[in-house]
Amino acid sequence: MPTREEMRGLAEEIIGSYADRVAGIAQLGETVKLDLKGFHDSRTAMSKELRTDLAKVRLALAEDDRQRQSEAREFMGELGRAVAEGKATVKSLLKELDNAHQAMSTQIRADLAKVLPALAEDDRQRQSEAREFIGELGRAVAQGKAAVKILLGEFDSAHNAMSREMKATLARGRQILAKEEKERQGQARQFMGELGRKVTEGKTATQAQLRKLAEEQAGARDEWQILTSTLQAQRVGAAVAAKPPEAVAVPAEEITPETDDIQNRAFEYLANHPDGTKLVELEKEFGVSRIEMARLLKDLMGENKVEKRELLYFAI
């Protein structure tokens, strides 16, 4: 915060600078007055010079105007004389043209008087030739009409013959179409009979397939029950594998050398894959159905050669 001495010094500086500004403004006012007076004096002198120059220009313009008027009067005089001379020349030319036109008209009349008899003779000759041409044309038209009439008669005869031939052809065609229609109907009846027999055979085969599928589904259901019972027994600490019911036991005749070979190969495959293998991979590897492969694996599990952990099978 400034002290009292500092504030006093600041006030004195402000007062001094204000006095300087007032003195500068007064000096500036005097300078402006002098400049305005000089501008007024120069403007007055310039105005006098302009008035003097304007008077000189007016005198020069008046002299030029008088000179132009004199030149214009001379030009108009020369123009009038040239127009008068032109009128006289045109009048003379028109007279010469009129004389030449009258002479040409007289010459043309004389030439026409000489040509008219020849033109009349040529006209009579052309009329005679025209009458002869019209006569020949009439005879040619009459001959053409007769020829056209003959052609129309021949065309009518040919058209009638063609119509009779077409009617006969259509009659034969209807007979042929009727015969072909009967043959097609017989073939259709034969085809429908064969189709009915094939449909019957297909139904029989389909029913046999459905029965076989039902039997396979029943076997799969029994195998699933065996699997669930085995798992349940393992969970409660029973034997490793539950004894399958006699009703679903695999008959002895179903155990063939082929299935035994697939079992051995499946065991070797699991032994070579210690990380475990899914059932679908074994199905693709050996080309057997999933139910058959599950049954073979179940037999290996019953022999304690294979174990299952979640979805993977491992060789023991």
Q: Is the pLDDT of residue 79 over 50?
A: yes
The answer to whether residue 232 sits within a structural domain is no
Position 76 in a domain = no
- The structure's pTM equals 0.24
Residue 300's domain comprises 250-316
Between 33 and 231, the higher pLDDT residue: 33
140 falls within a domain: no
Q: How far apart are CA 38 and CA 44, in angstroms?
A: 10
Q: Cβ distance 283 to 289 under 8 Å?
A: yes
- The per-residue pLDDT for 224 is 74
CATH number for the domain that contains residue 311: 1.10.10.10
Question: pLDDT grade, residue 93 (50/70/90)?
Answer: confident
Does 215 fall in a domain? no
Residue 308 has pLDDT above 70, yes or no: yes
- The residues near 10 (Cβ < 8 Å, ≥ 6 apart) are 2
Place 286 in a pLDDT band, splitting at 50, 70 and 90. Answer: very high
Residue 260 lies in a domain: yes
Give the whole-number percent of the chain exceeding pLDDT 70: 82
Q: Which of the pair, 71 or 231, is modelled with greater confidence?
A: 71
Is 50 exceeded by the pLDDT of residue 238?
no
Would 69 be classed as within a structural domain? no
- Residue 288 in domain: yes
Averaged confidence pLDDT in the chain? 80
d(C-alpha 296, C-alpha 260), whole Å:
9
Total domains in the fold of the chain: 1
| Buried/exposed code over 155-182 (b: 16+ C-beta within 10 A; e: otherwise) | eeeeeeeeeeeeeeeeeeeeeeeeeeee
Question: Could you tell me which residues are beta bridge partners of residue 314?
Answer: 307
Asked if residue 280 belongs to a domain, the reply is: yes
What was the pLDDT predicted at 169?
A: 81
Banded pLDDT at 243 (limits 50, 70, 90): very low
